[in-house]
Structure 1
Amino acid sequence: MSSIDWEDDDPFEDQRDRIDKPMKRLLFSYGRPHWFSVSAGILASIFARILDLLPPLLLGIAIDGIFLRNEAFSLPLVPDAWLPTNETEQFMLTVAIIAASFLIGAAFHWIRNWGFNAFAQNIQHEVRTDTYDKMQRLDMEFFADKQTGEMMSILSNDVNQLERFLNDGLNSAFRLGVMVIGIAVILVSLNPQLALVAMSPVPLIAVFTYIFVKRIQPKYAAVRSSVGKVNSRLENNLGGIQVIKSSNTENFESGRVDEVSQKYFGTNWGAIKIRIKFFPGLQLISGIGFVLTFLVGGYWVFTGVGPGPFTGTLNEGAFVTFILLTQQLVWPMAQFGQIINMFQRAEASAERIFGLMDENGRIEEQTDVEELVVSDGRVSYDSVSFSYNNNEQIISDISFDVDGGETVALVGPTGAGKSTVLKLLLRLYDTDAGSITIDNQDIRNVQLSSLRQSMGYVGQDSYLFYGTVKDNIAYGAFDASDADVVAAAKAAEAHDFIENLPDGYDTMVGERGVKLSGGQRQRVAIARAILKDPDILILDEATSDVDTETEMLIQRSLDELTEERTTFAIAHRLSTIKDADMIVVLEDGQIVERGTHSELLSEDGLYAHLWGVQAGEIDSLPEEFIQRAARRQARTNVDIESTDD
């Protein structure tokens, strides 16, 4: 895929389009088990905000009832008979209630923050682990057209976006709701006419916010996709840093990073331009309510007569309460836009997350199936065909049987489908037609975990995890003793070089095993397979990265390892598989020859010609074979997986 195609492609677009009401699903599916913490947060938020509204209300009462003596001192919901009659005592009571409101309010604020943080953190953890668990169980075809950076973006950035909304956004939404309702109740109780003036911006804010949501929603979906593309490009380049340096292409790669970053900048800036217009506009509308309240109320108090249609009186204390509460209303109204902003970001992230969770792979494990029981280790391929993404067939009508304990080698030109044949045995993919059985058990009708537990795989890409040498050898056999690890390393001819490492078996191998050579990594991978002691062993170019001398030592160990177990081996070095019980020769996804090494040489077919190439007998090869090899090398397949060995 060209860089332009890659930039424009969004591999998760189809998944997002299938998701309906992702935030509702998030709250009901993941929020329900944590109802206690969020309920505590909501209740604490309500009480905390009510207590926050007491000081301005009490200040107005004190001004009218104590300082100016415009009316009798009284407190809402408190019988007058309970109140002191002395002004000093009334003042001290007011001070005490205000102080208590701050003290108790602080406790409720702490409970509120604990509740919402616990709610958000638990959901964040569960969503991330569930998403990862679902993703790693998808078949390999899913990963074929997905960038690692895109998937990392979902597991990291998108999940974190949900946490920010559930903690800050949801928390602020309840605070805002309580604040607006509480202020509205107090203002209406003090003066319904002036309350209409103070609350007049609310309908306009609602319309303004609706327009904002309609415009910003598609922008945020594009931004989340752009973040994934940036991550993919960076992950690609950092993973290939050695190639970049050795190819002297730093300037070229900087240009590609600049290009994808510029596209993210443009997408994000489009959302920012809408957002930076919305928030000041929202604050301006809210401010208009405060100005009108101050103008109407101030004139009312100053003249003693309600302006225009307003009737009755407005005391100084009530006016001060109006001003203080209206001022408190301005910021929550402006903050409402931030909540909508966080919600839209979270919804775009939730679409990507649940789109990934709902992804259906081609491999579907049946329920209530039995575990695989390997007795003899007999493997049969019966008329097996397979294609990637329903495109051109990679494997076509392949049939062969391997008796228990035998070693079968798969050989053929690059792109013949050798690795694909073995990936079907591991059920990394499912066949399009035909069946594969182990001891007469169809591998599609047994537990997937038991199938893979019975197999040991050593590939040409010897992947090591970040950790120690010992951790990597014991990967998949986590309860193995140190003695077992050492024995496996010795069998893989790895013990001596491991002992010479700075910390021996406790040496950190680095990211992807970068601190070890290719041959060392391969021997560690072989030791891992030996330690697992599988019933069926799969060797896919298992000695491709070692020198001839090390290969000879490893081959000797592998001969002992494969002696009593069914083994499949792929090798371009035909000398490593010439002693196999059967050699299956593939070309263009079909079996063209099969037999022992000597039998195939005597047939003078494809295998004999490949052997001649490695023996240096190029001049004696027929012209037809050379032309076919040239056509194979020139053939281009859109699907990269179809070039699998």
Structure 2
Amino acid sequence: MTSSETPSNPENPPADEAPGTPPDLAKAAAPDAPEATEVPSGSQEAAARRGGGGPGRFMGAQGTEKSKDFGGSAKRLVGLLGPERTLLFTVLGFGVLGVGAQVVGPRVLGKATDLIVAGATGPRFAGFPSKEAAVEAARAKGGQHTADLLSTIDFTPGQGMDFGAIGTVLLWVLGIYLAAILFGVVQGRLAALAINRTVFRLREEVEAKLSRLPLSYFDRQPRGEVLSRVTNDIDNINQSMQQTMGQVVNSLLTIVGVLAMMFWISPLLAVIALVSVPVSVVVATKVGKRAQPQFIKQWGSTGKLNAHIEEMFTGHSLVKVFGRQQEAAELFERENQALYEASFRAQFISGIIQPAMMLVGNINYVLVAVVGGLRVATGALSIGDVQAFIQYSRQFSQPLSQVASMANLVQSGVASAERVFELLDAEEQSPEPQHPERPAEVRGRVAFEDVSFRYDPAKPLIDGLSLKVEPGHTVAIVGPTGAGKTTMVNLLMRFYEVSGGRITLDGVDIAAMSREELRSGIGMVLQDTWLFGGTIAENIAYGAESATREQVVAAARAAHVDRFVRTLPEGYDTVLDDEGTGVSAGEKQLITIARAFLAQPSILVLDEATSSVDTRTEVLIQRAMAELRTGRTSFVIAHRLSTIRDADVILVMENGSIVEQGGHDELIAADGAYARLYQAQFAQAVAEVD
């Protein structure tokens, strides 16, 4: 788009209004002015008029304490990983290998324990020819329990410790655990790669979605709330998936593998260990349901707080001027307190899960140890088997605790995902035509044919507007605030779609053109300047990326930017931030005008484009713009009527209709609405500046 500004910026209200002016003060300053109707009823300004004006007026508009569809959002979030299916199967494969090594380790280590016990037992029975003889002798002496215990030990009478065999087993255990670590590292790296790719695509999808959303969406949403969804919520999704996906996979695999080994060693002890599972599930479910609404509230409060901070930061000068620091601080304190309480409750409630699971796991550990000891005493199990089983019972309860403790991360991530999905599911602007049309030659003939438009279906704003503008003509649009001046331009740019009638450009309905094609020939300079972080030269060349430095300087001279840029230490390479720190409001506006000069559009839209410059500079710029407008169709929205005296046609709008049109002298002679506006501004003679 060859535009000097970005009208879809949510902080840019229609230029007819005085940004930052509290509604009550505005009415007090102009009690006879008609109520503005130009802004959509859902917008920030409309909210202010309904009595919700002032800092933080959006605080109650967003966020909810109840998830709309937790299960659906979780399923959709998992579905985002679909393109990484191959990589995820590889992650699962390495997870199986790593968990398999961890599960086999205790069983092998139990063999080492049995070798040590056998080595300690053999010398005590050196006089017996075999193990069976020693067991029978013990049973003959009435030592039934001793005989049962000896039968579980694989010893050779008279033989001591076999350190070679013990060392071999321990080396195997070391190798197994090193392999488990290696598999885990590879699995973690691949999982991180899959998740980051997924979040990368999600960010791209959100960015593309923002470009497809209509201007009305940003009118209804505080900018800080949108930014919170795009940044904080997506970052939280990334962190939640990074911290949970690999652990959940490993925990589930560990549970399956350990359970298989436990049943292999002792089905009885395995059943005892499984008693803790339903208890753990009930605890996790009950606590999780109580924590879920708090996570929803936490991220809703985060969005509200960000919206408030962003609003107070961008308008801090007005906040100080009107002495509203205390009110702003109190509102911040309330929202910060709400976020604190929601975060504390969410973390506290979800934090109960892990100690509760640990309690269940410890009870299970005691039962396994007692019953396992009894099984050893009866000769049903060896000491090494019981040792391995106790380790397995720990390994079995640990992943259950991990899965339960990750419930807070999962719920937090799904809460953020739900907010991002709400943005992705927002209604988009009307689709582009499948076979877009374009004028054979863009000359700038614009026609409004019986155009109607309304933000609110029940409140018409523009009704039956018809207008024809010839190529090269300058059309000035004047009228009271809320008359529909900026809306008319927004319809021409297709930031909003007409409710009835049509608008044509050189005979082609603009609705049949692609938005990019339409806007590529239109340049805009708005009252609210917009600069991005970059050099002055880059800001001027924003609308013409292939422009040379000489062309940039020429445009700057035409817009009288060159004179103050030369005074800066770095000149055109001076770096500005997105707030334009270091240059005045008037100088920022001159830079945006230079941007329009360089773009050389076919149609020029000037919306109070010189409102922030001094009178002498305004006269010089008007002269330069007269040259720029030569051969171009121009729409000039102005409150200062001295700037549009030379317009080919002056349109006077009231309540969405054109009540008068003609040249300056003609309208003055008619002594109508325009004459009244002119006389109100110029009660005494205007001195022209040469």
After superposition, what is the alpha-carbon deviation per residue over 1:180-200, rounded to whole angstroms, capped at 9, x for unaligned? 111111111111101111222
Give distance in 2, aligned partners of 1:314 and 1:95: 22
Shift of 1:124: 1.3
Q: Structure 2 residue aligned with 1:375, among 420, 442, 445?
A: 442
Give the one of 211, 219, 238 matched to 1:144.
Answer: 219
Flag the 1:19–1:53 CA change in 2: closer, same or farther, 3 A: closer
Alignment partner of 1:133 out of 195, 208, 221: 208
Shift of 1:88: 4.1
Pairing 1:80-229 to 2, within 5 Å after superposition:
87-229=162-304
Give distance in 1, aligned partners of 2:483 and 2:617: 28
Residue 595 (structure 1) aligned with residue 672 (structure 2): no
Q: Deviations over 1:138-196 (max 9, x none)?
A: 11111111011111111112112221232221111111011111111111111110111
- What are the residue-to-residue correspondences of 1:251-290 with 2, within 5 Å? 251-290=326-365
Please give the secondary structure, in 2, of the residue aligned with 1:7.
coil
CA distance in 1, matches of 2:75, 2:393: 33
Question: How much does 1:604 deviate?
Answer: 0.2
Paired with 1:202 and 1:476, the residues of 2 have a C-alpha distance of 64
Q: CA 1:412–1:485 in structure 2 vs 1: closer, same or farther (change >3 Å)? A: same
Residue in structure 2 matching 1:7, options 38, 54, 59: 59
- Deviation of the 1:53 alpha carbon: 2.3
In 2, distance between residues paired with 1:203 and 1:454? Answer: 67
Pairing partner for 1:54 from 101, 104, 107: 104
Task: Name the residue aligned to 2:526.
Answer: 459
In the alignment, which of 335, 340, 356 is matched to residue 402 of structure 2? 335
Matched, 1:385 2:452: yes
- The one-letter code matched in structure 1 to 2:553 is V
* Higher mean C-alpha displacement, 430-439 vs 38-47: 38-47
C-alpha separation between the residues in 1 aligned to 2:591 and 2:196? 38
Alignment of 1:486-505 (within 5 A): 486-505=553-572
Secondary structure, counterpart of 2:534 in structure 1: coil
Q: What is the aligned partner in structure 1 of residue 141 from structure 2?
A: none
1:44 to 76, 88, 94: 94
How big is the shift at 1:522?
A: 0.7
Does the 8 Å CA contact 1:370/1:446 hold for their aligned counterparts?
Answer: yes
Does the CA contact (< 8 Å) of 1:39 and 1:115 recur in 2? no
Q: TM-score, normalised by structure 2?
A: 0.83
User: Which structure would you say has the larger RCO, counting Cα contacts within 8 Å and 6 or more residues apart?
Assistant: 2
Query: By how many angstroms is 1:105 displaced?
Result: 1.9
Which residue number in structure 1 is paired with residue 77 of structure 2? 26
Answer yes or no: is 1:349 the counterpart of 2:411: no
Paired AA for residue 92 in structure 2: I
> What are the superposed Cα offsets for residues 26-52 of structure 1, whole Å, 9 maximum, x if unpaired?
333x32222233222221122112112
Question: Secondary structure, in 3 states, of the residue corresponding to 1:538?
Answer: strand
What is the CA-CA distance between 1:340 and the residue it aligns to? 2.5
Contact 2:365 2:393 in 1 (8 A): yes
1:456/1:537 contact within 8 Å kept: yes
Contact 2:240–2:413 (CA under 8 A) maintained in structure 1 = yes
Partner secondary structure for residue 186 of structure 1: helix
Question: Could you tell me how far apart the structure 1 residues matched to 2:324 and 2:492 are?
Answer: 40
For residue 274 of structure 1, report the CA deviation from its aligned partner: 2.1
Instruction: Tell me how far apart the structure 1 counterparts of residues 649 and 352 of structure 2 sit (CA, whole Å).
Output: 73
Does residue 435 of structure 2 align to residue 365 of structure 1?
no
Query: Is the Cα–Cα contact under 8 Å of residues 489 and 524 in structure 1 kept in the other structure?
Result: yes
Taking only aligned residues, the RMSD between alpha carbons, in angstroms, comes to 2.3
Q: Which residue of 2 aligns with 1:632?
A: none
Deviations 1:73-104 (A, max 9, x none): 89xxxxxxxxxxx9444323212211211222
CA distance in 1: counterparts of 2:86 and 2:610, whole angstroms: 57
Q: Does the 8 A contact of 2:608 with 2:638 survive in 1?
A: yes
Cα distance, 1:328 vs. partner?
A: 2.6
**Would the aligned equivalents of 1:61 and 1:73 in 2 still touch at CA under 8 Å?**
no
Superposed displacement of residue 256, structure 1:
1.0
Paired residue secondary structure (1:435): strand
Provide the C-alpha distance between the structure 2 equivalents of 1:71 and 1:336, rounded to a whole number of angstroms. 37
Q: Which moved more, 1:325-334 or 1:550-559?
A: 325-334
Report 1:441-590 matches (<5 A). Answer: 441-590=508-657
Answer whether contact 2:603 2:633 (CA < 8 A) is retained. Answer: yes
Counterpart among 411, 433, 444 of residue 478 in structure 2: 411
Letter aligned with residue 326 of structure 1: S
SS of residue matched to 2:89: helix
State whether residues 409 and 570 of structure 1, in contact with CA within 8 Å, keep that contact through their aligned partners in structure 2: yes
- Residues 592-601 or 380-389, more deviating: 380-389
3-state SS of paired residue (2:356): helix
Q: Is the 8 A contact 1:173 1:336 kept in 2?
A: yes
Q: Distance in 2 between matches of 1:13 and 1:414?
A: 39
Tell me the TM-score normalised to structure 1 length: 0.88
Q: Which residue of 2 aligns with 1:633?
A: none
Q: Please list, as runs of the form range in 1=range in 2, the aligned pairs for 1:68-79 lying within 5 A after superposition.
A: 68=118
Between the aligned partners of 1:19 and 1:411, the Cα distance in structure 2 is 51
1:313 aligns with 2:380: yes
Give, in angstroms, the shift of residue 18 of structure 1. Answer: 7.9
Return closer, same or farther for 1:449/1:570 CA change in 2, 3 Å cut-off.
same
SS of the residue 1:97 aligns to = helix
Calculate percent identity across the aligned residue pairs: 33
- Residue 12 of structure 1, CA deviation: 8.7
Aligned pair count? 597
Q: Please say if 1:63 is aligned against 2:113.
A: yes
**Corresponding residue for residue 391 of structure 2:** 324
Residues 12, 355 of structure 1: 8 Å contact kept: no
Shift of 1:561: 0.5
Matched residues in 2 for 1:98 and 1:389: separation? 73
Moved more, 50-59 or 113-122: 50-59
**Shift of the alpha carbon at 1:221?**
1.9
- Partners in 1 of 2:542 and 2:70 — Cα distance? 37
Please state how far the C-alpha of 1:372 moved relative to its aligned partner: 5.4
Bigger-Rg structure (1/2): 2
Contact 1:578 1:597 in 2 (8 A): yes
> Helix, strand or coil for the counterpart of 2:631?
coil
Give the whole-Å Cα distance in 2 for the aligned partners of 1:131 and 1:372: 33
* CA deviations over 1:474-527 (Å, ceiling 9, x no partner): 113222111111111111111111111121111122232132111111110011
Aligned-residue offset at 1:113: 0.9
In structure 2, give the amino acid aligned to 1:193. L
Any conservation in 2 of the 1:11–1:145 contact (CA below 8 Å)? no
Find out whether 1:35 has 2:85 as its counterpart.
Answer: yes
Distance in 2 between residues matched to 1:364 and 1:116, nearest whole Å: 37
CA distance in 2, matches of 1:457, 1:369: 23
**Relative to structure 2, which stretch is displaced further, 278-287 or 443-452?**
278-287
SS of equivalent residue, structure 1 residue 21: helix
How far apart are the structure 2 equivalents of 1:332 and 1:198? 13
CA distance in 2, matches of 1:373, 1:203: 74
Alpha-carbon deviation of 1:615? Answer: 1.2
CA deviations 1:521-565 (Å, max 9, x no partner) are 111001111111111110000111100110011111100000111
